[in-house]
Structure 1
Amino acid sequence: MSGGNAIAASLDSAVKSVLAEYDFSSDVVFHLVNVSENWTYRVDDPARGCSAALRVHRPNYHSREEIESELTWIDALRGASVVNAPAPIAARDGGRVRTVAVEGGPARHVTLFDWLPGAAPSADADLIPSFGRLGDLASRMHLFGIGWRRPSSFCRFTYDDAAVLEKVLWGRWQDAPGIGVAEEEVLSRACDEIRRQLAGYGRGTDRFGLCHNDLRLANLLIDGERLSVIDFDDCGFSWYLNDFATAVSFMEGDPRVGDWMAAWLGGYTRTRALTAEDRAILPTLIMLRRMLLVGWVGFHYEHAAEARALGADYATGACRIAEDYLSGRYLT
């Protein structure tokens, strides 16, 4: 059995065992739907007529306390009707974070959520309206987060240039496929400029706070007039406008990014004003996100199909964007 198949088999066994701790019938079935930082499964119980999303967390990524804090923020957003997000589901003993043994590897935290109807916007569609809705959602979440009194136990990580470029929680960009001497040189210069720009922009409370941090189209579900946001796994403290940078993840070089940005800003500023400095920092935040994703591709290349599909071209594309960023041509 190959390494990837062995991991899948071990996790399938772990999922089967942890589902017994919830109120599902003996008819419950599950299948893998996504592999990224976490392994996400769809759970269907035809006897009870319900479905759920089960997330097996990446080991050594978030602590139990950090995961509990994510769920607390989702509760608060749902309770205030800020966004429609999947409700966490408790096990029979009332706990919402389980820890399950995995054969041949470290134990994993597991969480379960309602399965929400809907689909992400199609890449072939006109995305301007969707980016406008994302901007509106982001501003409402930011305003709520600014005014929300967090519990004393609340703890989430900080997403900033140090986390991306030094702590490398998502993988070293230098190790990604496609990175040679020339690529490392231009991307290193881009990293220096990112640090300089963000230091100048600062972390005032009007600029830096609690964000979704992965508010991209793939995490937006549209079901008729109903709009839902999923996957709060990367929520934490960052520059508020990083939520636009995440919205164009894997599409940073698309010629339509400028139009998408205008639509997102239009949606955002309906409820929250932005300064010229805020708008000017967007290319830097997008470049920072691209550096994160270059590292992510390298880190996940062996087990995530999306990373393998991007391959070395994603790093070389980052170099083209970096050249435009350093010369002041990107999004101008």
Structure 2
Amino acid sequence: MNRSVRQALALWDLEGAEARLIAQRENAVWRIDHAGKSYALRFHRPGYRSDAELASELDWMAMLARSGLIVPRPVPRSDGGFIGRSEEHRVSLLTWLDGKPIGEVGRLAAGLNPRALSRAVGEEMARMHDLTDDWTPPQGFVRPDWRAVGLIGDDPLWGRFWEHPHLTSIQRDMFLRARKAAGRALERMDLDAGLIHADLLAENVIEHEGRIAFIDFDDAAIGYRDFELATFLLKFLDRDYYADMRAGLLEGYSARRRVQPEHLDLMLLLRALSYPGWIATRLDEPGGPARSDRAIQTALALSETYLKGRT
């Protein structure tokens, strides 16, 4: 256990706890075991989120947990605050949720029924959005805005995807034409928008004691609700059970909230376009070039399909 972890544990009076590093991505996440209880200790990447954004994320999670959604619950420090500092990192502590992810990298875990599982996920997404719309956030609440400007404006939140260094001139033109067409479509659509998780990949959806649970709210944002559904589906586009997953997700979500298939098609394109911008600054990371190629090819395929459907 390094010094930063020991300093962080002291903020929650958890000296002597066992600590294991379990994830090193945008944040470093340690599993903490102490006195028969388990926690997730997060070291937040410096410069990625402001104090207000982190506090807002935790406020939202706390509300969802109180309301019965299965999500990690923020744990207050001994002085009542939710955010601490250990050396150069801000840190937070969450309750640990036992369970297994439903899959990873666009592949469902063995033995799961794609349609039934996706229906359950859709129901929980809709429930999360219902609870959120009925909630009045505290003063000072702030999260990134991932609507039209944040997705396809001049400076998208995840970067100018059309300027990815590996694009050919033809590919760049394809992205720019898709961006323009998507912008026009967004102006015409009446879209449901609000606070969304924005990163419900299979790795962030787990089965916990027979129920669907959501973890990793780090990318929570103000965005389109159909974008939430598209994020879950995108990685499964090339699977033979994709149609079953899409049908199940729409069945589960539409039981509580409005969803339109044509809106979802646009959101799949917008979600795909975001990834080349994100990976462009991470090409030197392990696996970066391969992930970049996949992101570009997926975004190109959806761009071509979308543009053909509009001509």
Q: How does 1:27-176 map to 2 (within 5 A)?
A: 27-35=17-25, 38-45=26-33, 48-81=35-68, 83-102=69-88, 108-122=89-103, 123-125=108-110, 126-165=113-152, 166-176=154-164
Task: Note if contact 2:198-2:227 (Cα within 8 Å) is conserved in structure 1.
Answer: yes
**1:309: how far off?**
4.0
* Residue 235 (structure 1) aligned to one of 220, 232, 252: 220
**CA offset digits 1:266-315 (Å, max 9, x no partner):** 001122244xxx32111111111111112122222333x46454132331
Task: Note if contact 2:44-2:90 (Cα within 8 Å) is conserved in structure 1.
Answer: yes
- Supply the distance in 2 between the matched residues of 1:136 and 1:314 (Cα, whole angstroms): 28
Post-superposition, which runs of at least 4 consecutive aligned residues in structure 1 deviate over 6 A?
A: none
Q: For residues 175 and 119 of structure 1, do their structure 2 counterparts lie closer, same or farther at Cα, with a shift above 3 Å needed?
A: farther
Q: Cα RMSD between the aligned structures?
A: 2.4
Q: For residues 269 and 326 of structure 1, do their structure 2 counterparts lie closer, same or farther at Cα, with a shift above 3 Å needed?
A: same
- Supply the distance in 1 between the matched residues of 2:171 and 2:142 (Cα, whole angstroms): 36
Residue equivalent to 1:21: 11
- Supply the distance in 1 between the matched residues of 2:118 and 2:188 (Cα, whole angstroms): 28
* Residue 210 (structure 1) aligned to one of 184, 195, 202: 195
2:200 aligned partner, one-letter code: L
Q: For residues 74 and 176 of structure 1, do their structure 2 counterparts lie closer, same or farther at Cα, with a shift above 3 Å needed?
A: same
Q: How does 1:210-289 map to 2 (within 5 A)?
A: 210-254=195-239, 256-274=241-259, 278-289=260-271
**CA offset digits 1:141-164 (Å, max 9, x no partner):** 112222222222222221123213
- Supply the distance in 1 between the matched residues of 2:241 and 2:287 (Cα, whole angstroms): 22
TM-score (norm 1): 0.83
Unaligned runs of 5+ in 2: none
- SS at 1:281 equivalent: helix
- SS at 2:28 equivalent: strand
- SS at 2:213 equivalent: strand
- Supply the distance in 2 between the matched residues of 1:129 and 1:49 (Cα, whole angstroms): 34
Q: For residues 311 and 216 of structure 1, do their structure 2 counterparts lie closer, same or farther at Cα, with a shift above 3 Å needed?
A: closer
- SS at 1:167 equivalent: coil
Task: Note if contact 1:24-1:48 (Cα within 8 Å) is conserved in structure 2.
Answer: no
2:36 aligned partner, one-letter code: G
Report percent identity of matched pairs. 27
Unaligned runs of 5+ in 1: 1-8, 103-107
**1:133: how far off?**
1.3
Q: For residues 176 and 255 of structure 1, do their structure 2 counterparts lie closer, same or farther at Cα, with a shift above 3 Å needed?
A: farther
Task: Note if contact 1:52-1:114 (Cα within 8 Å) is conserved in structure 2.
Answer: yes
- Supply the distance in 2 between the matched residues of 1:92 and 1:292 (Cα, whole angstroms): 40
**1:87: how far off?**
0.8
Matched, 1:312 2:293: yes
Q: For residues 112 and 307 of structure 1, do their structure 2 counterparts lie closer, same or farther at Cα, with a shift above 3 Å needed?
A: farther
**CA offset digits 1:107-132 (Å, max 9, x no partner):** x3221111110011132534222211
- SS at 1:140 equivalent: helix
TM-score (norm 2): 0.88
- SS at 1:251 equivalent: coil
Q: For residues 308 and 257 of structure 1, do their structure 2 counterparts lie closer, same or farther at Cα, with a shift above 3 Å needed?
A: same
- Supply the distance in 2 between the matched residues of 1:256 and 1:324 (Cα, whole angstroms): 20
- SS at 2:101 equivalent: coil
Task: Note if contact 2:121-2:212 (Cα within 8 Å) is conserved in structure 1.
Answer: no
